[in-house]
Amino acid sequence: MSKKVVVIGSTNVDKVLNVDKYALPGETLAVENHQESHGGGKGANQAIAAARSGADTTFITKLGDDEDAKFMIEGFKKDGMNIDSVITTQARQTGQAYITVDSTGQNSIYVYGGANMSMTPADVDQHEDAIKNADRAIAQLEIPVPTIIEAFKIAKKNEVQTILNPAPAKKLPEELLQLTDIITPNETEAEALTGIKVIDDDSMMKNAEYFFKLGIRMVIITVGDKGSFYATPASHAFIPAFKVKAVDTTAAGDTFIGALASRLDLNSANIRDAMLYANHASSLTVQVAGAQNSIPYEKDVLDVISKTSKTKEAIEKEKKQAAEYAAAQVPNHIVLGLGSGSTAAYFVKAINERIKKEGLDIQCVATSVGTEKLAESLGMPMLDVNTIDRVDLTVDGADAVDDKLNGIKGGGAALLFEKLVATMSDKNIWIVDSTKYHKTLAGQKLPVEVIPFGGMGVFRYLNEAGYKPEFRFRDDGDILQTDSGNYLIDITIPDDADLAKLAHNLKNYTGVVEHGLFLNICDQLIIGGDKVRVIDRPKEETKK
């Protein structure tokens, strides 16, 4: 189960200086904060990441005969790595990176390759066995390219899988790429090799095809906080990153590769699970300052994975509880609006059961293509929304609701039809899990549906007005289109927002079709839980 990984690569000691501002040429500045030395170097980071994720890891690296080397070897031992192939030279010092970070978080880095750059093919030959005995070998570009070629030749001769992390970005001889089974560039590194800019799913596939032609079997492109993409000649997918508060992304890419190498089966059958694991691992790394100290252990990664799946399960349960509670309240002989999204889907199934079991006379109207398909597949009695002018009751989910029962909808991209049906409904009931209920809507994401032609104009306006707009993309990287073929722009509701004014302003902007603010629409909110909570709109508040 546990993979045998050999990393052939660099070790650096990072010397970090925190400065208020950079010194100009000829200028001397006094510095108050001097951080201790930290372990670094892409080879060491990836080896540590693999070891901490449970791989049986051997590291082939070259160090000087100095204090830095002792410091690094101590760390390797603590992480349980096999250090029999750590080479020491008298001729050069251990690699060093001089990093200055200014008060804005910007950094500038000078790297002294030192012993790393003196690692020769002959050094690798000396440790041939370490490569032969591994399942997979990983290399990066902080050691001389001929040395990597030699290591990969040994690997290929012995049917050991090769992973090349082509970082830092540079052009490479085809010989090396032809010896590579899996390549793992980030977007900049991919472009440096292929000349094809990574902008969307299509361009990632074009990058992948470039590498396939050279005999590479799998391409993984990491795209920072957006996530990561994998492609083999048989399949491909984009896996979004987890939303976390990033404080320092140093070692994110290295963590991703080490973690992936420790999980991925040799036949790559579990690629999605391995990518998810690597995504989780690197999302932990970016939440901690520094490089090697921020690389998580297997236990930490598995903990977040299990917490995420437990939270997910609990949320699904609450959605279902709210939906079933609502379904039980629906009166007979009505026209019923069916909302969209995952919570509404639970409701559709629950009310369908009641209609069938109790022989109810209920006609239904769907608020999205998705809901219509679901209802039809269940054989429910459906009305065309164009043939009616009122609905008795609509039951729908919501993305966020405040304590005045104002809410945001449209996370599932069906906001236009949802709003149409909601405004023709005599009564609107919203069903949510407890994570959707908030004191205020400030800080929440609000979808704005715009016509594709002119969408950029709206985007610019929203940006200038400080709403932090972002176009909505699908998981595969393509721009998302709503059921009516429009685009969605997500904005963030400001702290001091007057919701009624915001709704009015958005609606008045040319090119905006609809927005996701649903004010004075919800009459009753049902929040799932072991004890379901029901909140009614206060009587004195006027409707619509």
- Phi and psi angles of residue 33, each rounded to the nearest 5 degrees, phi first: -95, 115
Give a three-class secondary structure readout of 290-354.
CCHHHCCCHHHHHHHHHHHHHHHHHHHHHHHHHHHHHHHHCCCCEEEEECCCHHHHHHHHHHHHH
Q: By C-alpha distance, which of 348, 462, 484 is closest to 410?
A: 484
Exactly one of 46, 96, 100, 250 binds ligand ATP (CB under 6 A); that residue is 250
Judge whether 288 is annotated as a binding position: yes
Give the residue closest to K ion by C-beta: 294
CB 342 within 8 A of CB 397: yes
Tell me how far, at minimum, the Cβ of 90 lies from ligand ATP, in Å.
31
Give the nearer residue to ligand ATP in terms of CB position, either 41 or 516. 41
Annotated binding residue at 249?
Answer: no
Q: Is 164 in the site for ligand ATP (CB under 6 A)?
A: no
256 contributes a contact to ligand ATP by CB under 6 A: yes
Q: Whole-number minimum distance, CB 355 to ligand ATP, in Å?
A: 44
Q: Is it true that the peptide bond before 494 is cis, omega within 30 degrees of 0? A: no
Rule CB under 6 A: choose which of 53, 222, 268, 292 binds ligand ATP. 222
Residue 21 annotated in ligand binding: no
Q: Which one of 254, 298, 318, 523 is the catalytic residue?
A: 254
Q: Measured from the CB atom, is 147 or 250 closer to K ion?
A: 250
418, 433, 490, 514: the active-site residue: 418
Alpha helices in 14-107 (DSSP H): 42-52, 67-78
Residue window 250-279: x/- pattern of binding to K ion, with contact defined by CB under 5 A: x-----------------------------
Select from K ion, ligand ATP, none the partner in contact with residue 294, using the beta carbon and a kind-dependent cut-off of 5 to 8 Å: K ion
Q: How far is CA 276 from the centre of its chain?
A: 9
- Binding ligand ATP (rule: CB under 6 A), the pick from 117, 244, 314, 480 is 244
Residue 253 binds ligand ATP, judged by CB under 6 A: yes
190/197 Cα distance (integer angstroms): 8
Place of tokens 């090396």: 176
Give min distance, CB of 435 to ligand ATP, in A: 20
Contact 366, 383 (CB under 8 A): no
Does 225 bind K ion (CB under 5 A)? Our answer is no
40 is in an annotated binding site: no
Distance CA 381, CA 383 (A): 7
Question: For this structure, is 254 an active site residue?
Answer: yes
Which run of H or E residues covers position 154? helix 145-157
Is residue 45 close enough to count as binding K ion by CB under 5 A? Answer: no
Among 117, 196, 205, 246, which residue sits at the site for ligand ATP (rule: CB under 6 A)?
246
The 3 state secondary structure assigned to 216-263 is CCEEEEEEHHHEEEEECCCCEEEEECCCCCCCCCCCHHHHHHHHHHHH
Q: Which two tokens stand for residue 469?
A: 């707009």
Pairing of strands 470-471, 445-450: unpaired
Query: What is the C-alpha separation between 430 and 406, in angstroms, rounded?
Result: 11
Q: Annotated catalytic, 300?
A: no
- Binding site annotation covers 496? no
**Beta carbon of residue 285, minimum distance to K ion (angstroms, whole number):** 5
Among 66, 248, 300, 483, binds K ion (CB under 5 A): 248
Residues between 176 and 195 that touch ligand ATP (CB under 6 A): 186
CB of 403 to ligand ATP, least distance (A): 31
Complex with ligand ATP: residue 239 or 517, whichever CB lies closer:
239
The torsion angles phi and psi of 108, rounded to 5 degrees, stand at: -130, 135
List, by residue number, the catalytic residues. 254, 418
For ligand ATP, the binding residues (CB under 6 A) are 167, 186, 222-225, 227-228, 241-242, 244, 246, 249-254, 256, 279, 282-283, 286
- Chain residues that interact with K ion, rule: CB under 5 A: 248, 250, 285, 294
